Amino acid sequence: MKLENVTEVSSKRWYDDACGTAMALELIGERWSLLVVRELMFGPRRFGELKADLGGISANVLTQRLGGLARAGILTRRMLPSPASVQVYELTPWGYESETAIRELGRWAARSPAHDPTLPLSAASLMLSFRTTFSRQRADGWTALVGFRLGGEEFVGRVDGDWIHVVRADPSAADVTFDGDPMTIASLVYGARPFRDAEAAGTLQITGNRALAERFVTLFPLPDKVAVE
């Protein structure tokens, strides 16, 4: 049957507001939408990867969101070339441009007293947080190539003094590599947890130039929490 959601044009749950911010809410205001975009921020991903990294989203909702975001022109479905022949979802160039807005939202919200940094964290969230909280003042011209192996997902961060670039890539050529789950790495960077502690627990492995790693984790100051009144 498939009725194709006939109402179509009159779908009626929009804001009817010319403001760009209201438009943004039409585009990514539904539950999970913005987090789907976040997960795609470092390149194409498969349905199952998205579902796994967005702890708790159900398959039908993910399907809906991917469809809506594709219709909005924020992402596209694409077939990886043979022999892979798997379907992936990838942001459009405009979709990638939402990163600034996503980062600003995160930067603002992280100051909430309710923010709990000990909750689970996806690999993409962690990498994105580096771009958000990077302090060029603390980096002060420093340069390094830092790798990450986060349970199957691999990234390389290149600190070049002014900025940090992060891409999905094989970290084997990096100066130093963190190997652990995202929460563990986050506890080093944002919780000032000693490396030895995590290593003793068996949840972290550092390979390469350890001194660089020790410096790296100091580059990302969190914004101050809001005072509770």
Calpha distance 146→158 (Å, rounded): 6
25 binds DNA (CB under 7 A): no
Measured from the CB of residue 143, what is the shortest distance to a copy of itself in angstroms? 27
Residue 167 is encoded by which pair of tokens? Answer: 């891409």
* Window of 81-89, 162-170, 198-206, 210-218 that interacts with DNA by CB under 7 A: 81-89
Q: Is 31 in the site for DNA (CB under 7 A)?
A: yes
Cα gap 46→224, rounded to integer Å: 36
* Binding site partner of 61, from DNA, a copy of itself, none, Cβ cut-off 5-8 A by kind: DNA
49 binds, among a copy of itself, DNA, none (CB under 5 to 8 A by kind): DNA
User: Using the rule CB under 7 A, is 30 a contact of DNA?
Assistant: yes
Check residue 1 for interaction with DNA (CB under 7 A). Answer: yes
CA–CA dist 37, 54 (Å, integer): 11
Cα(148)–Cα(169) distance, rounded to whole angstroms?
A: 9
Q: Which of 45, 125, 206, 212 is the binder for a copy of itself (CB under 8 A)?
A: 125
CA distance 172 to 146: 10
Hey, what are 150's tokens?
């986060």
**φ, ψ (nearest 5 deg) of residue 197:** -60, -55
Residue 72 CA to residue 197 CA, distance in Å, equals 46
Distance, CA of 209 to CA of 61 (rounded, Å): 44
CA pair distance 226, 229, nearest whole angstrom = 9
Q: Which residue has the tokens 């830092």?
A: 146
8 binds a copy of itself (CB under 8 A): no
Considering only residues 89 to 148 of the shown chain, the ones binding DNA according to CB under 7 A are none
Contacted by 98, from a copy of itself, DNA, none: CB < 5 to 8 Å by type: a copy of itself
Nearer to a copy of itself, 164 or 176 (CB): 164
Contacts to a copy of itself from residues 33-52, by CB under 8 A: 34-35, 38
**Is the bond leading into 83 cis (omega within 30 degrees of zero)?**
yes
- Closest CB to a copy of itself among residues 36, 145: 36
70 binds, among DNA, a copy of itself, none (CB under 5 to 8 A by kind): none
Judged by CB under 7 A, the residue of 86, 109, 200, 201 near DNA is 86
Q: With CB under 8 A as the contact rule, which of the stretches 32-40, 43-51, 135-143, 171-179 interacts with a copy of itself? A: 32-40
State whether residue 178 is helix, strand or coil: strand
> What is the amino acid identity at position 144?
A
Residues that bind DNA (CB under 7 A): 1-2, 7, 11, 13, 30-32, 46-49, 56-61, 63-64, 66-67, 77, 86-88
